[in-house]
Each structure stands twice: as C-alpha cells, then as structure tokens.
Structure 1
C-alpha cells in the first residue's frame, strides 16, 4: 500500500539499497494490495446478504 502512495516502508528501502529487491519487484507486488475501499464494499455487500 505504501508503494502505491509513493512512500516505501523502511524495510523496502533497505532492500533496494542492498539490492535484495528491485523496483520491478515492488511494482509487481502492487497487484496484490487490497484497497481499503474494496474491503468496505465487500463488508456492505455481506451485510445486505449479497
């Protein structure tokens, strides 16, 4: 989530500096991020019996 906001967590910045991960790795992982707004929608649908 932090990468989507343009602010990497410390562990990700350390990984980049020490070349353990690449910017491509971070970009690829963005697809696995669950958007908070999507979670709210799923909760509302569950409450409505959908």
Structure 2
C-alpha cells in the first residue's frame, strides 16, 4: 500500500489559502468606499469640520 504524501496535501492547502487571500484583497481594492454603508469610523463622521462662526 502506498503511503500518503502529506507534503503535497499541505502544499495544495497553502496554495488554496493564498489564492483565497488574494481574491479577498482584490475585492477590497475594487470596492467603492460609498458602498460600505457608512460604517462607524468613517472619516466624515469622526472628524466634523470646525465652525467659522464667532
């Protein structure tokens, strides 16, 4: 009986993991900031402009 090739299986898992991470990174880069839905931590909400009134 042939013994299992654990290195090949591990390499395949690592390749799949790397591919998934790359796809996720690509999605984040192409995502438009206006599509985020106004998450907390938005720059406009976090830092209101100072008023110019006296």
Normalised by the shorter chain, which TM-score bucket? 0.3 to 0.5
TM-score by length of 1: 0.32
Q: Which has the larger radius of gyration?
A: 2
TM-score by length of 2: 0.31
Structure with more contact order per residue of length (Cα contacts < 8 Å, sep ≥ 6): 1
